[in-house]
Amino acid sequence: MQSALFHTTLYISLALCVLGLLWRSSAWFRVRVGPDVRAVTLSQRVGALLRGAASALFSVRVFHILGALFLDVLLLRRLFAKEKLRWLGHLLILAGFTLLLLMHAFEAVVTVKLFPGYESTLAPYLFLRNLFGAMVIVGIALWFFGRWRRRTGLASVRRPMAAAFVALLGFVLVTGYLLEAQKIASPQAFYRMAKRFSGTTDPGELMPLRALWASEFGVAFDDLTEPMTPDVMAKGRQMHDDDCASCHAKPASAFVSYPVSRLLAPLTGFLDKARADIWLLYLHVFACFLGLATLPFTRFFHAVAVPASLLVNASAPNQAFSAAGRASKRALALDACLRCGICDAHCSVAPLARHLGNPYLLPAHKLVATGALANGHLLRSGHENEGFRVAEGAFLCTDCGRCTNDCPAGLDLEDLWQAGRGDLAAAGLPAPAQWVQALPALAWAEALEAAHGQHTASDPDASCAPLSADRRSFSRCVQCQTCTNVCPVVAQSIAAEHRVDLTPQKVMNLLRLGLRDLTLGSRMVWDCATCYQCQENCPEGVRVTDIMCELRALAVHRLGSVRSGRAPS
Amino acid sequence: MKYALFLGCKIPSKLPAYELSTRAVLVRLGVTLVDLEFNCCGYPARNVSRDAFVVAAARNLAIAERAGLDVLTPCTCCFGTLRHAIRFLEEDPELRSRVSQALAAEGLAWSGKTEVEHILPVLARTIGVDALSAAVRAPRAGLHVAAQYGCHALRPSNLTRFDNPLAPTIFETLIRLTGATPVDWPRQLDCCGDPLHEANAPLSEHIARAKIADALESGAEAMCTACPHCHLRFDSVQAGAPDPSIRTLLYTQLLGLAMGLDEKSLGL
């Protein structure tokens, strides 16, 4: 390969990689998630990082950081605790890739210095290179198998760049193996080396060596007709020992490339003519450079972001982070999430996500949406429904903490969800209890009427609000006010000046009058504490609280459709 | 005695002491607790979609049913929600068929075999007051506590079958056997205010404070709870407040102390 071309491409790729890394990591100081960090400035964030690093490195905390570096970053302890198979897959990729990088890609600066007799075609390097490559391939396969086995039946987060990156990695490995296989079998390569080290390319003169190399080194000569007598072989071995043995071990230990070279043997002549050794080398090297240049923009960036996140987490307990520190930690979390989907698989509201058909209840999706909101991509015009769905997901999260517990990257997701809900509320997408109560009940009823033409207690609601749709469940109400008298919300709201607009008994009366829409946005319905005093004490056995709960669900459904501009159902 | 332990969402993340003390006490009393991977009880979805709420609840019941176990929960809200789901499934055949279809997609089924129990009746009736009294080694004599029943345990009583909803005694009985003294307090059966937290935070706080003031006036040193929502509500309204404070003590912690378990194993 031409040295100038090689070096130019290398340095361009390296420069792109460095610039990309700077740009991506600058987001950790730019992106703001959560109302509590909105006022934090760039200099405060840089200051918090420097102070945090200094106080962590010059205290006993440094042992936490070292522990995290060894156990969490290198040995992937958190993944081991959750999914052994994916852990094994990931560890194989990590170890195989790193070792290939050090021994093979950096051979001139690392391996040669450490092992003075190093030649890429000697044992054990032939074997090791194949082994490391095979580790990566087996690792990728295990990773995908683990993912497939734990599939949740839920849509997984789209990650086109991840597929592109794995494809590129696979391409580098495949071209590497093919190149090695072709070089093993290539007569052309044999003659090139023979010329250099034996000073001849004459087939007749080289016959004994060719015989030996054909039988023991796998070179696929198509013109080798003379019998391989012991004499010829012995002479060949002599020539081999003189000129080749110091750099060449038998290639059978290249346990992937060698069998491949046997398979390709019939095509070797053709591939030699087509100069396959040259273009396979170009493909292999340029694919590596492409990987390097695009590294910051593929999922491979996690190799930077995840260790950074793990080390930042280890540097201080969660509650010790200042607002500036929290801001950076959240922005870092957005990048460090791999979308591995382990959180989604164990999410305690996953059945709700499945039933409501809303993936934004699931952590990995929610994280993407949180990032999109912080970066201003979520609330584009024409995508309003997306925002409503994201908010529905965010406010149905129960903060059970499983995702934080399960995250192999150790992200503090609970903190991120809380911050994200703050951002949603500030963007006009608060919890249902908030957006419904932003308008009085009458205004909602009028909006429904305008959208719908008439008040209705119609049948489509029978499945989602069967009690309030069935007169029999409230027609026994005799307006005795027992429900109102035992209601703690009514009692306390009078004392505390948080007056409710209706009382439970009036809500029942509106239902009796067929004016259900008037109740949907009422404070009484939304301020109901679901303490079941009314239902317990009703002398007529009306299930007042159950009806209140239904009315809220119905309100989310019907008022939600008015709010989002869809026709109410 | 063997149950599937249903912790719900709040206990593991926000009140781990309740999990610790529940396990410590029940294991000492010879109860086997089995951990299954449950999901949210469904409560938060009640305000959004009845079907989604019942599907989530029924999935939990089906998981316990597959393991052949009844469910024991220390969370009053989860208890009420799961019992409600059972009622809705029993009274609405169309809902049942929709839910069955959703569960079948995961190879699960609900047939109603699994019972849902709250920890207090299991302690008082299944294990029994006599067995509990016999386990008490270090009575907490002189401690005055206010029993906070929690709404979704008491009501609706035809569903929860917990105790007399107007004059319950089960919690007082359980407190007395630890040697502590339950106080009479007028607001005992009121809501703690927690479910209102999102809809109306000031009102929620007001309700909780009224209860705390009432318990203090009635001579209680601690609020004894058996629900993470009530417990955390009382803790959070008192956090950083200048008001007179009341300790919050989980019943499982009180019982554990009386049984002579060490404080650390009870999360104290």
Best probe of the B interface among A398, A418, A436, A552, by most B CBs < 10 A, is A398
0.90 surpassed by pTM = yes
Give the model's pLDDT for residue A568: 57
**CB atoms A351 and B40 under 8 Å:** yes
Q: Which of A232, A252, A292 is nearest to A16 (CA)?
A: A292
Q: Which residue of A has its CA nearest to B87?
A: A546
Sign of the torsion angle spanned by Cα atoms A209, A210, A216, A219: positive
Q: Which of A336, A182, A344 is nearest to A264 (CA)?
A: A182
Asked if A398 and A348 touch (Cβ cutoff 8 Å), the reply is yes
d(CA A495, CA A503): 15
What whole-number percentage of chain A has pLDDT above 70? 96
Q: What is the pLDDT of residues A42-68, one digit of tens each?
A: 999 999 999 999 999 999 999 999 999
Over 90: is that where the pLDDT of B16 sits? Answer: yes
Of A232-236, B44-48, B115-119, the range with the highest mean pLDDT is B115-119
**CB atoms B13 and A414 under 8 Å:** yes
Residues of B in contact with A526 (CB under 8 A): 199-200
Q: Which of A275, A280, A270, A269 is nearest to A219 (CA)?
A: A269
Q: Which of B35, B47, B27 is nearest to B11 (CA)?
A: B35
Give the model's pLDDT for residue B198: 87
Measured in whole angstroms, the distance separating CA A273 from the mean position of its chain's CA atoms is: 45
Torsion of CA B2, B7, B12, B18, to 10 degrees: -70
Over 50: is that where the pLDDT of A155 sits? Answer: yes
> Residues A134-160: what's their mean pLDDT?
81
**CB atoms A496 and B202 under 8 Å:** yes
> Residues A518-545: what's their mean pLDDT?
96
Measured in whole angstroms, the distance separating CA A215 from the mean position of its chain's CA atoms is: 49
Over 90: is that where the pLDDT of A496 sits? Answer: no
Give the model's pLDDT for residue A459: 47
d(CA B262, CA B20): 12
> Residues A505-530: what's their mean pLDDT?
95
Give the model's pLDDT for residue A495: 64
What ipTM goes with this model? 0.96
Over 90: is that where the pLDDT of A157 sits? Answer: no
> Residues B23-29: what's their mean pLDDT?
98
Q: What is the pLDDT of residues A410-441, one digit of tens each?
A: 999 999 999 999 999 999 999 999 999 999 99
Over 70: is that where the pLDDT of A525 sits? Answer: yes
**CB atoms B48 and A351 under 8 Å:** no
- Residue B84 Cα, gap to closest chain A Cα (Å): 9
> Residues A228-252: what's their mean pLDDT?
91
Give the model's pLDDT for residue A158: 73
Residue that wins the pLDDT comparison between A462 and A196: A196
Nearest neighbour of A399 by CB, restricted to B9, B46, B94: B9
Q: What is the pLDDT of residues A313-361, one digit of tens each?
A: 999 998 899 999 999 999 999 999 988 888 998 999 999 999 999 999 9
- Residue B115 Cα, gap to closest chain A Cα (Å): 21
Give the model's pLDDT for residue A497: 63
Over 80: is that where the pLDDT of A1 sits? Answer: no
- Residue A412 Cα, gap to closest chain B Cα (Å): 12
Over 80: is that where the pLDDT of A544 sits? Answer: yes
**CB atoms A431 and B198 under 8 Å:** yes
Between positions 459 and 478 of A, the ones with CB within 8 A of B are 463-466
Q: What is the pLDDT of residues B195-237, one digit of tens each?
A: 998 888 989 999 999 999 999 999 999 999 999 999 999 999 9
Read off the pLDDT band of B71 (50, 70, 90): very high
Q: What is the pLDDT of residues B74-109, one digit of tens each?
A: 999 999 999 999 999 999 999 999 999 999 999 999
Q: Which residue of B has its CA nearest to A430?
A: B198
Q: What is the pLDDT of residues A289-315, one digit of tens each?
A: 999 999 998 888 999 999 999 999 999
Asked if A484 and B199 touch (Cβ cutoff 8 Å), the reply is no
What whole-number percentage of chain A has pLDDT above 90? 76
Q: What is the pLDDT of residues B38-50, one digit of tens each?
A: 999 999 999 999 9
Between positions 53 and 92 of A, the ones with CB within 8 A of B are none
Give the model's pLDDT for residue A455: 43
Give the model's pLDDT for residue A49: 94
Q: What is the pLDDT of residues A163-183, one digit of tens each?
A: 788 889 999 999 999 999 999
Residue that wins the pLDDT comparison between A450 and B220: B220
